[in-house]
Amino acid sequence: MSSVTTAQSSSGFGLDHLPYGIFSTADGPRRVGVRLEDRVLDLAAATGRAELARPSLNDFMALGHDAWQELRDSLPGLLGTGDHQHRLADVELHLPIEVGDYVDFYASEHHASNVGRIFRPDQEPLLPNWKHLPVGYHGRSGTVVASGTEIIRPQGQRKAPDATAPTFGPSQRLDIEAELGFVVGTPSRLGEPVSTADFVRHTFGVVGLNDWSARDIQAWEYVPLGPFLGKSFATSISHWVTPLAALDAAWTELPGQDDPEVLDYLRVDGPAGLDIDVEVVLDGEVVSRPPYRTMYWSPAQMLAHTTVNGATVRTGDLWGSGTISGPGRDERGSLLELSWGGKEPFTVAGRERTFLEDGDEVTLRYTAPSTGGGRLSLGEVVGRIAPARTARL
């Protein structure tokens, strides 16, 4: 009768993981489920709790850290009965959270340096503020979509360097950004900053995140107020949210923040980075393996920075790490870097590639060490590029 497996799971979805998501069946509404191996436990049915019968995780996340832990502690028992379970193949998965504010950071030194070298080859690759604060900006929360959602090639203005005026049309430099996303559970109050030590109390969990980017649109628009339409058409996140409690074995030291030292509100004690491996898969071939442990800024620092001016965080707020790139050529988390601004094509399945083509499918996969000794598979992020809808304009 028991359907509980051992903690160590070759699938990455064993009892040591138990990520949450929103699912529906043909005969029922969207509700909260938890994944074990290739099954989904209907938590609304299994617990009878109203906050788990909702179309997003938000009401549950808003209950706070103790409630998260209490439910997690009860899951082996609930799963052990074998009741209220569906085969993963029989359910439809949805966007897991109702997104409040979406903030995207720029926390990889290797990524920021690469971008600097590509666009400003004669200058210092990092801008003066970069090592003093985690640079970030607000993205569009209304276009955060679930893994699997078709990505329609955006149209917009772009101007060639030697052109006198911009032209309008489909983006010719459509790109990915392989990122990790963090989801706020417990809200904060206006005027009360969240310290780096309070990160665990406010953060519910982690998602995979692909911050689709139209580099040509972005290049023309972004001075002086930052990226807007070059990013706002779509941001994909995984169906599954890995609770922070499942990542206890993944914490690792940051690469180092000695020169310069950070200001007090950005200080962290102990391991503040995460040893999460990422794979970027383009049309079935792994083209890059960005290592999250190489990120300069930690998630706790991003949260502390976001709120140090007194701004609140709300349940459902999402922040992205920014593109994850390691030091190696095969550790770059964007096609901009992999093709060095489009000038050095790379080979996928025997073809030379730079930016995304219509019909391309991109999958981001994430794994993390487990307390059980194996590895967790975090929720993957899939997106296929559909042609621009030129006829509509």
Binding residues for Ca(2+): 104, 177, 179, 211
Contact call for residue 5 and a second copy (CB under 8 A): no
Contact map string, positions 247 to 286, toward a second copy, x by CB under 8 A: -------------x--xxx---------------------
> Cα–Cα distance between 294 and 262 in angstroms, integer?
17
> Cα–Cα distance between 186 and 313 in angstroms, integer?
8
The residue within the footprint of a second copy, chosen from 63, 125, 137, 348 (CB under 8 A), is 137
Sign of CA dihedral 109, 112, 118, 123: negative
- 86 noted as active-site residue: no
> Cα–Cα distance between 170 and 156 in angstroms, integer?
6
Q: 111, 202, 239, 305: which one is catalytic?
A: 111
Contact map string, positions 301 to 340, toward a second copy, x by CB under 8 A: ----xx-xxxxxxx--x-----------------------
The residue within the footprint of a second copy, chosen from 166, 341, 345, 372 (CB under 8 A), is 166
Pick out residues in 95-124 that bind a second copy (CB under 8 A): 100-101, 103, 106
Best CA proximity match to 58, nearest among 235, 220, 185: 185
Contact call for residue 168 and a second copy (CB under 8 A): yes
The residue within the footprint of a second copy, chosen from 3, 64, 118, 228 (CB under 8 A), is 228
CB of 162 to a second copy, least distance (A): 13
Pick out residues in 289-308 that bind a second copy (CB under 8 A): 305-306, 308
| 3-state DSSP assignment of residue 235 | strand
Alpha helices in 153-244, H assignment, sequence order: 199-202, 215-221
CB of 136 to a second copy, least distance (A): 6
Helices (H) and strands (E) in the chain, counts: 8, 26
Residues 6 or more apart whose Cβ sits within 8 Å of residue 203: 182, 183, 184, 185, 244, 299, 303
| 3-state DSSP assignment of residue 158 | strand
Q: Which long-range contacts (CB under 8 A, 24 or more apart) does 223-226 make?
A: 226/137
Which residues are identified as catalytic?
A: 111
* Site residues, a second copy (CB under 8 A): 100-101, 103, 106, 127, 129, 132-133, 135-143, 145, 152, 154-157, 159, 165-166, 168, 190-193, 214, 217, 220-230, 232-234, 260, 263-265, 305-306, 308-314, 317, 389, 392-393
